A and B are shown apart, each in its own frame.
Chain A
C-alpha cells in the first residue's frame, strides 16, 4: 500500500511544488517539501523518505546534479531512489552507468522531462516504489 510511503520533493518553484503535492497526497503519499538543496539536506538529517524527487534546475543551473551526487555518495541516503525532473532536454548527458567522480555521472534511478502530466508522474513513482 502506498499510504505510508513518504516522498521528499525538492523543487525551487513553490507553485509547481504545491500543484504536485496536491496530486501526490491524493494518492496517499506523504510529501515533504523542500524549496532548495539546503532544506533538502536539513530534512534528510531528521528523516529518510522512501523516494526523492529532485528538480535538476534550481538556484544554480546544475544544483540538482550536485544534490543527487551528494546523496548517492552518502551511506545514509544512497539507497533512496531518486526521480529527477528535468527541463534541460539533451543539453546534459545522462549516464547512469559511469562511476562516482566521472563528470557525466548522474546517479538517479529515473528521470522525466518537464512539463510532466500528473498521472505520468504517479506511474513513475509507483514503479520506483515497487508498487507496480
Chain B
C-alpha cells in the first residue's frame, strides 16, 4: 500500500514539475521574442540613420542639422539597446538571487546623475527636452553604486521616453533618513490611475503610443529599492494652467479642477519618488546594516 502511495506521489510530483517546465518554457519563448522584437526595432533606427550618413548619395542631400540629428538618433537608439540588454541581464540576476549588493559611499550627483544625464543627452536633444535636477549638489550617501545607477537611469530614461517633445523633466534630490529621496516628473503620456501600481510589475507596459521597451525598467527599480530597504512610488495626473493636479486631487475637488478627458491635447504628467535610506558599508563577510 505504502509503495503505491509513493508511486502516486512521485507521479503527481513529476506532472507538477512537467507543468512548471512547460510554463517556464512558454515564458522564455515569449521573453525571447519580445526582447528580440524590441532590440530589432532599435536596430532598425540605427541602420537607417548610419546607412544614410555613410552613403554619399544620401548624405550629400542632408544638411548639417539633419546629419547631426541622425547621428544623435543612432546614438540614442544604441543607448536604448544597451539599456535593454542590461535590464534584461539584471532582471535575470534578480531571479537567480545573484544581484550583488555592495554599499559604498558615493556622491549621487557626481558619481551617478551627472554621468547618466551626459549619456542620455542625445535622447534629450532628439526630443528638445530639458533636464533639471534641484538640490543635486554635494549629497553623499551610502548605497550600492551600480544598483542605484541602474535605478536612476531607468527613471530618467523613462521620463525621456514617455515625455513629450519640448518639455522639461524636473527632478530633485533630497536627504531622507540619512539616505536620499529622488523625485522625477515628466510631462507626456502620464500613467492611468489604475496602472500606478501595475507599472512596477515584470514586463508591465503601459504604452498607448507604442514607444516600446522591455517592461523591465520599473520592475528593476522596485527590486533595487527593496534591496536597499527603500521604496518607489508612482503618481500621476493632469497639468491644468501649469499646475500639477493628481488624480486624487481632481477626484476630491471636482469643482475646483475641471478635467475634460475628451480633450485630445490634455496635458498629463507622471512622477516617481525613489526613497533609499542610508546604509553602513558592509565589512568583509558581513551584510550591510541599514542606518535609522
Chain A positions near chain B (C-beta within 8 angstroms): 12-16, 18-20, 22-23, 26-27, 35-36, 57-59, 87, 114-122
Contacts and interface: CB of A to CB of B under 8 A. Distances in A.
Given A23-B48, A87-B44, 5 more contacts: A12-B212, A16-B45, A35-B210, A114-B40, A118-B52
B47 interface: yes
B82 interface: no
B62 A26 contact: yes
Interface of B: 37, 40-49, 51-52, 55, 57-58, 61-62, 66, 69-70, 73-74, 76-77, 126, 209-212
A12 B41 CA distance: 10
A14 B70 CA distance: 13
Contacts of B42: 15
Contacts of A119: 51, 55, 57-58
Given A35-B209, A58-B210, A16 B58 contact: no
Nearest to B210: A12
Given A26-B58, A115-B48, A12 B209 contact: yes
Contacts of A22: 52, 62, 66, 69-70
Chain B CB within 10 Å, residue with most, of A26, A36, A57: A26
B83 to A, nearest CB: 14
A118 B210 contact: no
B61 A27 contact: yes
A14 B41 CA distance: 10
Given A57-B37, A117-B55, A18 B73 contact: yes
B48 A117 contact: yes
Contact of B77 (A15, A36, A120): A15
Contact of A13 (B41, B49, B52): B41
Q: Which residue, of B58, B73, B212, has the highest number of chain A Cβ atoms within 10 A?
A: B58
Contacts of B212: 12-13
Nearest to A59: B210
